[in-house]
Structure 1
Amino acid sequence: MKIFYPLIFSIFLFCYEISGQYYPSQEWERKSASSLNMSQPLLDSAINIASQNENAVNRDLRIAIIEAFSREPYFEILGETKERGGPAGLIIKDGYIVGEWGDIKHVDMTFSVAKSYLSTVAGLALDKKLIHNIDDKVYEYVWDGTFDGSHNKKITWDHLLTQSSDWSGQQFGLYDWADRSPREGEIDDWRARKLYEPGTHYKYNDVRVNVLAYSLLQVWRKPLPQVLKEKIMDPIGASTTWRWLGYHNSYVNVDGIKVQSVSGGGHFGGGIFINTLDHARFGLLFLRNGKWVEKQLISKDWVKSVQKSSKAKSDYGYLWWNNSQGSWEGVSKEVYYAAGFGGNYIIIDEANDLVIVSRWIDNSKIDDVVRLVQNSIK
């Protein structure tokens, strides 16, 4: 029986290294900078900046959220929060771990990075033809009143995914106009403002992103965390420690079953709680254009779509940011990334075969980190 072991081992290796591309199994292989033709001093400088420049948000994230958003009308924390860890991160080159810092197994809130996971669930729905076209009106799929009215009826899936819908209403006790509203003296005028034509005006708004999550729940008709787990996280070998949560009052009836509609961020608590290693696997899936080993988990077309700028905002696509306008000075304009409150990032650089995950970094330093890592490649 022993004579078959070398053959079995060689087949195992083949399964995780296809056409020269490495995919991590349960244990993620590490390589030195020199073995991947990178400058160790420049890589060390990037890691030093990321690890030594911690974001200023309070480590008790309940306090951090209150400090950031409590001025909003009727503000309330409706979902789970937890104390965060310190700066942590990974640098993945050619699929291998080439640099790391902090506790990469610590599960943390990730705030608006969750939006890019939500975008992925939308892409899966398109791949599966649950949504026929990105430009379809959402009311054609969600008929319970969420998209009633002459304005809301115009809203398409594209508008929700690019945060350009200007959806108007209330969901789970949260009003769209209260999210990141103007200062108190302007609130009444803001509430009564003329709504923008869907697709023409970008406005970062967690209530509307949660409307997207709710709409996708109506399309999938099962919990979105279950969809993400079955279609993405299990196939890429993510741990069992990540969670995707909504609010204590966001449970809805789906085919007679009580299901929680999840949050697309941590603005009101909830969202995705996840460790750095699982973020990196998710990032590597996008770096590989939606393919993991020999299986296409999400279409290459969708991966390309999320990188494109929307009409309403030149550096924002389907709940992913991009550097097309060069806001990160000295960093490739083809880079795109997920970003969240408190300095949470998943950065994809296809040209250099790079994924960078950084947690709790001072936001003013992230471009320095990316630039140094890119410059470290000889």
Structure 2
Amino acid sequence: MKILYALILNFLFLSLNSFGQYYPDVEWERKSAKSLKMDQTLLDSAVSIASQYENSVNKDLRIAIMEAFAREPYLEILGEVRERGGPAGLVIKDGYIIAEWGDIERVDMTFSVAKSYLSTVAGLALDRNLIHNINDKASKYVWDGTFDGAHNQKITWDHLLTQSSDWSGQQFGLYDWADRPPREGGIDEWRARTLYEPGTHYKYNDVRVNVLAYSLLQVWRKSLPQVLKDEIMDPIGASTTWRWLGYHNSYVNVDGLQVQSVSGGGHFGGGIFINSLDHARFGLLFLRNGKWNDQQLISENWVKQVQRSSEAKSDYGYLWWNNSQGGWEGVSKEVYYAAGFGGNYIIIDEANDLVVVTRWIDNSKIDDVMRLVQMSIK
């Protein structure tokens, strides 16, 4: 009887806790820092840093890309690029907007933050049993030659999601070895390099992330932006202004239809173009462990999995970063985040019920912003 009573109490507690959480409707409610027992001065200082310390990348992002990756052979912009705006962002506490700066409705490129959206589409495929196990070999699902060869046949979904596959090949005219090559050597050496055993070596590489996006397209058998829209963005009330784009040459035949295979970043153009408010909704979904109101949009298990450190890199999970190694000084190690070129971030702090979105911040200042926001919570 005591056990039954305890179970009932626990159920009621969880239910009340869930019902008590705020989720924004079309209009997002704003509250003052004081009403949530936060220190306004410290919060204002965080906002001041985020808005005043702008990233140095050229506002013409076509130029910024060419400058950042000038060392890469055969570098070519294959997807859409647009000029960026200025610093912008929001702080969300207990689900409410408590601070904002810049043009939070401006649609901008977000570069590698797109990888965390791509990770979500992979998680949905696992939830729907389209992928049976994260450790399954990708070649079991994609048999068109993408994973042919002694090395590539070993690659699993886990390896692709942790950027530890060392996939070797060319996709949409882009060679894996030409993406962020080492400073030593030349084309012949890079091509003939020794491949690392999948799962043992982390390497940030957009070509391989795009291989993951292509592989998920083969699994879903429909456009990944459509999957994201139907399963995530529409249910959380995102705007209709966001776009997820690939390259002019990345259209593939899917059951007789030409579908664009999208990019997991903006390295070669394309990727996700989105405003700060939609980023914040996406972040709040993860803060709420995949739940939105009374709907479990993505499993809580997946939300937990993306935060875990991978074997190949301790501060990187399934296309999400984490602060487990204390890289952001003075910021709690439980924080995890999506990050993209040019100072784009979606930061999740479950312990403090926080989401912080920043656009075009000087990367060296992001830990200062987070430290001050966390300090503002009394």
TM-score (norm 1): 0.95
State the Cα distance separating 1:18 from its structure 2 match.
Answer: 4.5
Q: Could you tell me the percent identity over the aligned residues?
A: 85
CA distance in structure 2 between the aligned counterparts of 1:29 and 1:138, rounded to whole angstroms? 43
Matches within 5 A, 1:69-148: 69-148=69-148
- Give the match for residue 34 of structure 2: 34
For structure 1, the residue ranges without an aligned partner over 5 or more in a row are 1-16
- What is the alpha-carbon distance in structure 2 between the residues aligned to residue 196 and residue 60 of structure 1? 37
Rounded to whole Å, the distance in 2 between the matches of 1:184 and 1:64 is: 23
CA-CA distance at 1:326 after TM superposition = 0.1
Q: Secondary structure at the match of 2:346?
A: strand
Counterpart position of 1:5: none
Q: Deviations over 1:357-377 (max 9, x none)?
A: 000000000000000000000
* Alpha-carbon separation, structure 2, partners of 1:35 and 1:193: 58
The 1-side partners of 2:181 and 2:318 are apart by: 23
Secondary structure of the structure 2 residue equivalent to 1:134: coil
Q: Verify the 8 A CA contact 1:147 1:153 in the aligned structure 2.
A: yes
Partner-residue secondary structure (3-state), 2:197: coil
* Matches of 1:57 and 1:182, distance apart in 2: 22
Task: Indicate the residue corresponding to 1:286 in structure 2.
Answer: 286
Map residues 1-378 of structure 1 onto 2, 5 A cutoff: 18-183=18-183, 185-378=185-378
SS of the residue 2:219 aligns to = helix
SS in 2 for 1:246: strand
Counterpart in 2 of 1:7? none
**Cα separation, partners in 2 of 1:312 and 1:184, compared to 1, 3 Å:** closer
Distance across 2 between alignment mates of 1:185 and 1:175: 16
Answer yes or no: is the 8 Å Cα contact 1:79–1:270 preserved in 2: yes
Letter in 1 for 2:28: W
User: Displacement of 1:19 after TM fit?
Assistant: 2.4
Amino acid at match of 1:195: L
- Give the SS at the match of 1:258: strand
- State the secondary structure of the residue aligned to 1:22: coil
Q: Using the alignment, how far apart are the partners of 1:40 and 1:111 within structure 2?
A: 32
SS of corresponding position for 2:82 = coil
Structural RMSD (CA): 0.9
Q: What SS does the aligned partner of 2:67 have? A: helix
Instruction: Report how far residue 69 of structure 1 moved.
Output: 1.1
Instruction: Determine the C-alpha separation between the residues in 1 that align with 2:184 and 2:251.
Output: 31
Deviation at 1:267, TM superposition (A): 0.2
Checking the alignment, whether the CA contact within 8 Å between 1:181 and 1:187 is kept in structure 2 is no
- CA distance in structure 1 between the partners assigned to 2:135 and 2:184 by the alignment: 36
> Hey, what's the Cα distance between the residues in 1 that align with 2:264 and 2:362?
22
2-side partners of 1:188 and 1:342: how far apart?
Answer: 31
Structure 2: tracts of 5 or more residues without a match: 1-16
CA distance in structure 1 between the partners assigned to 2:364 and 2:184 by the alignment: 29
Residue identity opposite 2:59 in structure 1: R
Deviations 1:107-161 (A, max 9, x none): 0000000000000000000000000000000000000000000100000000000
- Separation in structure 2 between the aligned mates of residue 18 and residue 312 of structure 1, nearest angstrom: 36
| Residues in 1 aligned to 2:155 and 2:184: alpha-carbon distance in whole angstroms | 29
Displacement of 1:346 in angstroms is 0.1
Structure 2 Cα separation of the partners of residues 70 and 194 of structure 1: 24
**TM-score, normalised on structure 2?**
0.95
Q: Is the 8 A contact 1:89 1:100 kept in 2?
A: yes
- Alpha-carbon distance in structure 2 between the residues aligned to 1:52 and 1:215: 41
Q: CA deviation at 1:191?
A: 1.6
Shift of 1:70: 2.7
d(CA) in 2 for partners of 1:272 and 1:69? 19
Distance 1:186 1:196 in 2: 19
The alpha-carbon deviation at position 296 of structure 1 amounts to 0.1
Between the aligned partners of 2:358 and 2:188, the Cα distance in structure 1 is 39
Once residues 33 and 364 of structure 1 are traced to their aligned partners in structure 2, the CA distance between those partners, rounded to angstroms, is 26
Q: How many residues align?
A: 362
- What code does the residue aligned with 2:345 have? Y
Tell me how far apart the structure 2 counterparts of residues 320 and 112 of structure 1 sit (CA, whole Å): 10
Instruction: Tell me how far apart the structure 1 counterparts of residues 300 and 23 of structure 2 sit (CA, whole Å).
Output: 17
Give 1:183 shift.
Answer: 3.3
For residue 182 of structure 1, report the CA deviation from its aligned partner.
2.1
- Partner of 2:337, secondary structure, is strand
